[in-house]
Amino acid sequence: MIAVIADDFTGAAEIGGVAIRNGFQVVIDTKVNRDVKTDILIIATDTRSQDPGRAAVLIKKITCDLLDLRPDFIYKKIDSILRGNVAEELLAQMDVSGKDRALLIPANPALKRTIRNGTYYYDGVPLNEFDFTNGQANKRTSSEVLDLIGKSTHADTSVISTADDLPEKGLAIGNTSDTGDLKKWAGKIDARTIPAGGSGFFDAILKGIQGSEKEYSNPLQLGEKALYVCGSAFINSRALVKAAREAGQGVIYMPEKLFCKDGGDKDLIEQWTTDIVDCIRSRNKVIMAIDTIACRDEVSDLSVKIRELIAGVVENVMRATKIDELIIEGGSTSYSIIQRLHYTRFYPVNELGPGSIRMRTSERNDIFLTLKPGSYVWPGSIWDYTNGRSLK
């Protein structure tokens, strides 16, 4: 068995898609269970959004629990653009697993994410010059990978190329320009090394094990009623939602005065819920999203409160009306929703596109859950369906 620890839920789902694409059986869980029987076990955490100390403690516990299952190796899935507690979590995993080093390959050339000479590029543009969110969230202040994973771990980290030997100890970040580099990095993994990175590196490792990508067939047949939850600040996603609304599709935005002191939060939440339920009943498909927040500067921990609010509204909507497809964008938003719904174990069914994975849950066999990271593009099979058009 291969084990994976993912630092957010959409990352776990993305790895699940890579696994089924390569012909492996896969289970995604939120905790380590000894009774699971599968080729690849993926543990989904929410450590990316936690403080470094708390994240490290959780990673140590999960690593210990997984080691008791005696996996062939444990892969550490991190954010492809190095958000979160990347170095802290890897050092914690090394500490309890007895490994000397970790090879970190976050780049994914197939998704236009490359690292050259220690500089991260997105579509050929240095990462700190690329604004995913149009000012909606913090922009990266540097494109240097050593800066992106945190100055406190510089002494433990080096940047290397495929022609170099792995360091004796510490973290090594690999320069990666193309898919050929991913294959070369996969060939360097040994018993002393924790493999870590994005979905592209994991795909290269599995291909090395299997020899070649397997064909799999699982026809896509989407249900009638769908709730699409847009919890992402990424500009492309917000633009898609705006265009859908302008085209007359069912888009229900969060009330902009919800977090204002005089906003009457309870009434606004009830109205938002009612509007979503009515739209599902009349149109079958609805997008719930965030647009303008009138008092955002007056609210502490706004992103956390928004996630919790969305999760509560989703729960109330699903109690009030039948949903066949729950489609969620954004890792932290996804994790908040599955916790609220008490979903714990997931079985990937369809890989709809890069990072877009459709799954069954062990708790509900009458609903499909589809997830996508915020920075990825929705495939037509989901977006056209959500907007009432025929599938591509």
Q: What are the extents of the domains in the chain?
A: 2-210, 226-386
Residue closest to 166 by CA, chosen among 186, 145, 139? 186
- What pLDDT, on a 0 to 100 scale, did the predictor assign at position 328? 93
Backbone angles phi, psi at 240, to 5 degrees: -60, -45
- What pLDDT, on a 0 to 100 scale, did the predictor assign at position 222? 86
CATH of 226-386, one of 3.40.140.10, 3.60.21.10, 3.40.980.20, 3.30.420.270: 3.40.980.20
* 105, 194 Cβ separation under 8 angstroms: no
Paired sense of beta strands 157-160 and 113-116, if any: unpaired
Backbone angles phi, psi at 255, to 5 degrees: -55, 130
- Single pTM value for the model: 0.85
The CATH code for residues 2-210 is 3.40.50.10840
Structure tokens at 233: 């600040």
- What pLDDT, on a 0 to 100 scale, did the predictor assign at position 134? 44
pLDDT in single tens digits along all 392 residues of the chain:
999 999 999 899 999 999 999 999 999 999 998 888 999 999 999 899 899 999 999 999 999 999 999 999 999 999 988 999 999 999 999 999 999 999 999 999 999 999 999 999 999 999 988 765 444 445 668 899 999 988 777 788 999 999 999 999 999 999 999 999 999 999 999 999 999 999 999 999 999 986 545 555 566 788 899 999 987 667 777 888 888 888 888 999 999 888 886 656 888 999 999 999 999 999 999 999 988 888 877 778 888 888 999 999 999 999 999 999 999 998 888 999 999 999 999 999 988 888 889 999 999 989 999 998 877 777 777 777 655 553 33
